[in-house]
């Protein structure tokens, strides 16, 4: 394999929004550092929750919509990855459709459980389509809804997989 240049995601996002006729994308800026929460037990004894923004959904669920869809999907972590689908407007879906693990590492996490590196997976994973233009909707609606579900699942640590 030859070397590949890194992807300039800021430039790519600006070009994508320009091509779609959207107003210029404004990046969210958070000046406050999030609070640090140390693990209270080893990962090998922990329950992990998976949250991913790659637009993954289970066959039979409604696919994500094109513009500003701030809904989320619950996916049983015991699902066969052959049943997973992906849709997203902001990245090339070729690899994600061939192997959903590139944006939704469920098989990798199950392997970590099998190897004893991770205690267990939460019963459900949560997915949404990143690239949501409204930071307010993410802050006020999507993030609290997923945080509530993660707490109900009694996970010890969450893995956030951005796209």
CA 51 to chain CA centroid, Å, is 5
Residue 53: Cβ-neighbour burial (10 angstroms; 0-12, 13-18, 19+): buried
Return all residues near 119 (Cβ < 8 A) that are at least 6 apart.
Answer: 43, 44, 45, 46, 47, 48, 113, 156
- What is the mean pLDDT of the segment spanning 22-31? 72
What is the reported pLDDT for 84? 96
What is the reported pLDDT for 19? 82
What is the reported pLDDT for 50? 98
- What is the mean pLDDT of the segment spanning 1-19? 72
pTM for this prediction: 0.82
User: And the tokens for 52?
Assistant: 């991913």
- What is the mean pLDDT of the segment spanning 51-80? 92
């Amino acid at each position: 394999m030859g070397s590949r240049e890194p992807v300039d995601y800021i430039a790519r996002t600006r070009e994508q929004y320009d091509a779609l006729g959207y107003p210029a994308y404004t990046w969210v800026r958070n000046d406050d550092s999030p609070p640090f929460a140390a693990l209270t037990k080893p990962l090998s004894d922990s329950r992990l929750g998976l949250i991913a923004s790659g637009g993954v959904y289970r066959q039979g669920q409604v696919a994500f919509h094109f513009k500003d869809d701030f809904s989320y999907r619950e996916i049983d972590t015991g699902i066969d990855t052959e049943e997973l689908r992906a849709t997203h407007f902001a990245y090339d879906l070729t690899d994600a459709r061939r192997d959903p693990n590139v944006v939704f590492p469920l098989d990798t996490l199950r392997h970590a459980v099998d190897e004893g590196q991770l205690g267990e997976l939460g019963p459900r994973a949560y997915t949404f389509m990143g690239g949501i233009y409204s930071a307010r909707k993410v802050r006020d609606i999507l993030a609290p809804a997923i945080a509530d579900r993660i707490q109900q699942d009694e996970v010890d640590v969450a893995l956030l997989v951005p796209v």
